[in-house]
Structure 1
Amino acid sequence: MNLKLLGSSLIIAGTALGAGMLAIPMVLAQFGWLWGTLMMLFIWMGTTYAALLLLEASIKSGGGMGMNSIARKTLGKGGQLVTNGLLYALLVCLLMAYIIGAGDLVRKLLSGIGLELTMVQSQIAFTLLSGAVVAAGTAVIDKLNRALFAVMVVMLAVTLMSLVPTMSMDYLLVASSADKLALVKTSSVLFTSFGFMVVIPSLVSYNQEASHRQLRNMVIFGSLIPLFSYLLWLYAVMGNLSPAQMGTFGNVSELIAALGANHRMISAVLSVFTGLALLTSFLGVAMALFDQNVDTFKQNKAVTYVLTFILPLMGALWAADKFLAVLGYAGIILVFLAVFVPMAMTIKVRRGPELPVATKAAQESQAVTAESYQAAGGHLALAMSFLFGCFLLAAELV
């Protein structure tokens, strides 16, 4: 895998690795390491396969900067309208949540060095500066994301090295809850934590010279990074805090404070990690919305910049104290957009005439000249993907 494809995998991983990672132990620890691991693997498999379906639709439809073009070519005008509506609702909700969270972090950071800003000023400053990076293009995001991700890995490694030596196997093996309905409800949090699919059309366009096999590996490798990060973090926290302690936490800051009581560096390190996680997620989601607007409105960068960030910023200023509520709405939308829409696109391209492939290397490669990329599993896998989407929807609404 070359540096460009590696950077694209890191964009996928960075988009998934948001601040929700810190909340995962709070929702899974009560069920013990075995059920927590099984639920995490189940969600990872379902979301990754749905992402591969979207990859197939992107390749067979001839690509495009955003899902707008792919939906138009595969689902027609009606499907394009529905897809765009879902995508805009999802991306705006996510960007609102990230602006709210990042604005609070920026305000606290600047306050620590003697510069006092209001929440509104912090949110506007963050949006303007990070939005300028997004408008600079995918290549700039790729290079910046590599650096940010490297720092995130260091922060996570420092945290794990602090927590692993003090882990207790007794804590890991204890499950304080056997309520499987409550376990099912956690799937909504986990699913949102793997919500990286929106960046795939942009990355297919960015890696036009890549073969289908390389694009598939890019998606799988990018999804494995958050999976292992989530599991390692879950085990480290569960091994250091008893189920009774975990049950008393009302928010992530209490969890960080409890870990910091025995490990001095944890609070500062996790604060840095949270900020970087929010930033990398913001860059990935904003890139998807920016490219979608380029694809839809065909305007210059200045106009597209305004179209991309004005609505999320206004929404964040209006809903400044509704971070979790906004993420909840995003989770419901994501089920339709990340599972059902890619499945419908894939069914359409498999039934219809072969559409132009998206990459030059794919056209030249002997391995793919006979047929375009197709996600493995056939009809059975599509049926399982549909049931996976129904499961997630039920978990969101139960």
Structure 2
Amino acid sequence: MNTKLMGSALIISGTALGAGMLAIPMVLAQFGLLYGTLLMVLIWFGTTYSALLLLEATIKSGGGLGLNSIARKTLGKGGQLLTNGLLYALLICLLMAYILGAADLLVQAASALGLELTFMHSQIIFTLTTGVIVACGTGVIDKLNRLLFFVMLASLLMTLAVLLPEFSTDNLSQVSNSDHIGLIKTSAVLFTSFGFMVVIPSLVSYNSEASDKQLRNMVIVGSIIPLVCYLCWLFAVVGNLPAGQLKEFASVSELMAGFEHDAPWVGGFLSVFTGLALLTSFFGVAMSLFHQNSDTFNQNRVVTYVLTFVLPLVGAILAADQFLSVLAYAGIILVFLAVFVPLAMVYKLRLANALPERYTAEGGNVMMVFALLFGGFLLASQVI
């Protein structure tokens, strides 16, 4: 895998590693590590396969900067309108969640420097500044994301090293909530934590010279990295904090404060890690929305910038203190967009026997049925 493809895999990983890194310990730890880990692996597998279905649809339809063009070519006008509606709702919800999390960290950083910064002002500063970087294009995001991602991994390793002396194996077996229905209800938040599929059309276009096999490996490598990070993070958090305490956290700052009580040195590393995790996710999702707007409205960069960032910013300002709620809403939308829409696209392409020599997701009809059942499971988890 060349440098450009590796950078693209890191964009996939960085898009996934964001709000989920903060939400997973808060929603999973109370149910115990065994069941939490099994559910996370199931969600990862289903999400990765759905992403491969979208990759197949993108390649066989001739690609495009956003899902708008792919949906039009595969599902027709009605499917295009439905896909666009779902995509806009999803990306705006995700950007709102990332803005809320990043603003919380920015207020803390300003306070540590002796500066007074309101939550609203931090939201505005973060969104408009990072938006300029996104508007510069995929190449700029790729190069910046590589640097941020390696710093983020280094800070995660340092965080785990600092937490290791306080690690308690007794905590690993703790279960403060044995409600398995409640565990299943967390599926939407977990699914959102692997919500990287929105960047695939942009990355296929960015790597236009790559082979189908290379693009497939890019998606798989990009999805495995966040799974490993999530599992390491979950074990570290559960091993250092009682499960009953974790389920009381509602924000990034509360989670960090819980660590700093017993391990004061962890605050700096954790701040860097959580901040960069949110930033890399924001870049990936914002890039997808920017390209979607560019593909749909065909306007210049200034107009596309305004279309991309104003609505999520207004939504985040109005939805203060709703970090986990926004993620849950995004999870429900993502089920339709990330599972059922790629499934419908691939079904129509295979039915028409379109470009059979190009990449076809593994598993045939059996895995198509699995994807359908997986989507049904995720929807059921929200209406139990």
TM-score with structure 2 setting the length = 0.95
Please, which runs of 5 or more residues in structure 2 have no aligned partner? none
1:333-372 equivalences under 5 Å are: 333-355=333-355, 371-372=357-358
1:30-69 equivalences under 5 Å are: 30-69=30-69
The answer to whether structure 1 residue 136 and structure 2 residue 146 are counterparts is no
Query: Residues of 2 paired with 1:251 and 1:116: CA distance?
Result: 20
Give the equivalent residue in structure 2 for 1:391: 377
State the one-letter code of the partner of 1:104: D
Query: Residues of 2 paired with 1:228 and 1:197: CA distance?
Result: 18
Per the TM alignment, residue 353 of structure 1 is displaced from its structure 2 partner at its CA by 4.4
Would you say the 8 A contact 1:15–1:284 is kept in 2?
yes
Query: Residues of 2 paired with 1:104 and 1:236: CA distance?
Result: 22
Would you say the 8 A contact 1:331–1:396 is kept in 2?
no
Query: Residues of 2 paired with 1:114 and 1:326: CA distance?
Result: 31
Per the TM alignment, residue 259 of structure 1 is displaced from its structure 2 partner at its CA by 2.3
Would you say the 8 A contact 1:101–1:278 is kept in 2?
yes
Equivalenced residues, count: 384
Per the TM alignment, residue 248 of structure 1 is displaced from its structure 2 partner at its CA by 5.3
Would you say the 8 A contact 1:192–1:334 is kept in 2?
yes
Cα gap change, 1:257 to 1:117, in 2 (>3 Å): closer
Q: Deviations over 1:42-97 (max 9, x none)?
A: 01000000000000000000010000000000000000000000001111111122
Give the equivalent residue in structure 2 for 1:121: 121
State the one-letter code of the partner of 1:332: I
Give the equivalent residue in structure 2 for 1:224: 224
Per the TM alignment, residue 322 of structure 1 is displaced from its structure 2 partner at its CA by 3.0
Give the equivalent residue in structure 1 for 2:194: 194
Give the equivalent residue in structure 2 for 1:273: 273
> 12-21 vs 47-56, which deviates more?
12-21
The answer to whether structure 1 residue 21 and structure 2 residue 21 are counterparts is yes
Give the equivalent residue in structure 2 for 1:380: 366
Partner SS state of residue 239, structure 1: helix
Partner SS state of residue 280, structure 2: helix
Partner SS state of residue 348, structure 1: helix
1:199-348 equivalences under 5 Å are: 199-246=199-246, 249=249, 251-348=251-348
Per the TM alignment, residue 305 of structure 1 is displaced from its structure 2 partner at its CA by 1.1
Query: Residues of 1 paired with 2:248 and 2:305: CA distance?
Result: 43
Would you say the 8 A contact 1:11–1:142 is kept in 2?
yes
Cα gap change, 1:61 to 1:191, in 2 (>3 Å): same
Per the TM alignment, residue 262 of structure 1 is displaced from its structure 2 partner at its CA by 2.3
Cα gap change, 1:85 to 1:40, in 2 (>3 Å): same
CA RMSD of aligned residues (A): 1.8
Query: Residues of 2 paired with 1:113 and 1:336: CA distance?
Result: 44
Query: Residues of 1 paired with 2:282 and 2:358: CA distance?
Result: 32
Partner SS state of residue 157, structure 1: helix
Would you say the 8 A contact 2:63–2:69 is kept in 1?
yes
State the one-letter code of the partner of 2:19: A
TM-score with structure 1 setting the length = 0.91
> 171-180 vs 281-290, which deviates more?
171-180
Give the equivalent residue in structure 1 for 2:7: 7
Would you say the 8 A contact 2:65–2:205 is kept in 1?
yes
Share of identical aligned residues, percent? 66
Per the TM alignment, residue 185 of structure 1 is displaced from its structure 2 partner at its CA by 1.3
Cα gap change, 1:42 to 1:90, in 2 (>3 Å): same
Per the TM alignment, residue 118 of structure 1 is displaced from its structure 2 partner at its CA by 3.3
> 164-173 vs 240-249, which deviates more?
240-249
